[in-house]
């Protein structure tokens, strides 16, 4: 009987739901704790089997949301579900009104509720902020929308074994101990090095950051005997920065286009620095 897979309650561009089997098969055996410095929507966390989890991201809205869902999922469902049932919920006017409300709000619980609505109704699971730190993803214009009630409850259940931190990857690596493994899903290096950065929660994650992450993974493995895995595009650049790792190649359908004919399979790498 195939193992049941658990979807995150958030849409997420570049999420790893389809690849969790590949990632799980690359994890070293007999580790108690998984650390994710780029947790995203949490697909790997939800579909792995560790005793403990340390999950981090630099997006404070994401971490705030996860902690609220962890601590009181029933209240969160009760207060967020009406947004999905509102008469005009699936209109651009309603969406941009809620986006403006989100950007003006200082209340953590209100922001958490609005974040889920914006995520499910915005364009293709993108999470993007402008230089004023305002959420600026456009309306998605999808025909149907799904309120992820079961997914929220499962996330909350699984999250009882997790702690969530708003930290960058350098700080998160410091939390690793002997019996942990680190899995990194950073913003991907561009397929063409003509462009030199991708969005990292509204900030830049450029080629220098890609190199810094690879070097930190190498040193963590070499000096602390801690296993580190990193997912990324399979390019000449990534093969060079991960030259000290074991490389596992997989093909994945990857696109942020709504048009199915523009979704092509590209090669990805899992760089494995085994401790």
| Segment 185-228, tens digit of pLDDT | 999 998 876 544 444 444 578 999 999 999 999 999 999 999 99
Task: Tell me the C-alpha to C-alpha distance, in Å, between residue 94 and each of 97, 126, 173, 222.
Answer: 5, 18, 41, 52
* Beta-carbon contacts of residue 240 (< 8 Å; ≥ 6 apart): none
> How many C-beta neighbours within 10 Å does residue 222 have?
12
- Whole-number pLDDT of residue 125: 87
Predicted local distance difference test score (pLDDT) of residue 264: 64
Query: Are 267 and 239 spatial neighbours (Cβ–Cβ below 8 Å)?
Result: no
Q: Is 93 helix (H, G, I), strand (E, B) or coil?
A: helix
What is the rounded distance in angstroms from the CA atom of residue 60 to the CA atom of residue 168? 11
Report pLDDT for 183. Answer: 98
Q: What pLDDT does 198 receive?
A: 46
- Chain-centroid distance of CA 25 in Å reads 19
Assess contact for 244 and 218: CB atoms under 8 A: yes
Residue 41 contacts residue 8 (beta carbons within 8 Å): yes
Task: Tokens for 16, please give them.
Answer: 């790893």
Write the Ramachandran bin of 147: left for phi over 0, alpha for psi from -120 to 50, otherwise beta. beta
Give CA separation, 263 vs 61, 157, 168, 260, in Å: 29, 34, 31, 5
Residue 199: per-residue pLDDT: 44
Residues of the chain with pLDDT under 70: 1-2, 193-203, 253-264, 275
Residue burial 42-55, b: 16+ Cβ < 10 Å; e: rest:
bbbbbbbebeebbb
Give residue 191's pLDDT: 84
Using CA atoms, how far apart are residues 114 and 99, in angstroms rounded to an integer?
Answer: 8
**What is the maximal distance between C-alpha atoms in the chain?**
58
C-alpha–C-alpha distance, residues 217 and 238, integer Å: 13
Task: For residue 168, give the 3-state DSSP assignment.
Answer: coil
């Amino acid at each position: 009987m195939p193992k049941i897979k658990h979807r995150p309650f958030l849409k997420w561009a570049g999420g790893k739901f389809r690849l969790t089997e590949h990632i799980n098969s690359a994890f070293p055996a007999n580790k108690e704790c998984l650390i994710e410095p780029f947790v995203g929507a949490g697909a790997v966390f939800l579909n792995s089997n560790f005793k403990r989890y340390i999950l981090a991201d630099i997006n404070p809205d994401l971490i705030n949301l996860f902690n609220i869902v962890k601590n009181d999922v029933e209240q969160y469902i009760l207060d967020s579900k009406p947004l999905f049932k509102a008469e005009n919920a699936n209109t651009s006017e309603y969406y941009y009104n809620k986006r403006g409300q989100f950007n003006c709000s200082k209340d953590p619980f209100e922001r958490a509720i609005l974040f889920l609505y914006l995520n499910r109704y915005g364009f293709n699971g993108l999470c993007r902020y402008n230089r004023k730190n305002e959420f600026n993803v456009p309306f998605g214009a999808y025909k149907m929308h799904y309120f992820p009630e079961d997914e929220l409850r499962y996330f909350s259940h699984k999250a009882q074994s997790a702690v969530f931190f708003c930290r960058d990857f350098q700080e998160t690596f410091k939390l690793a101990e002997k019996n942990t493994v680190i899995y990194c899903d950073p913003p991907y290096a561009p397929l063409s090095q003509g462009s030199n950065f991708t969005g990292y929660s509204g900030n830049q994650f450029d080629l220098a950051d890609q190199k810094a992450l690879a070097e930190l993974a190498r040193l963590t493995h070499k000096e602390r005997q801690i296993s580190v895995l990193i997912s990324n595009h399979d390019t000449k650049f990534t093969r060079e920065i991960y030259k000290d790792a074991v490389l596992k190649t997989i093909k994945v359908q990857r696109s942020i286009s709504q048009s199915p004919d523009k979704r092509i399979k590209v090669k990805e790498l899992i760089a494995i620095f085994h401790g």
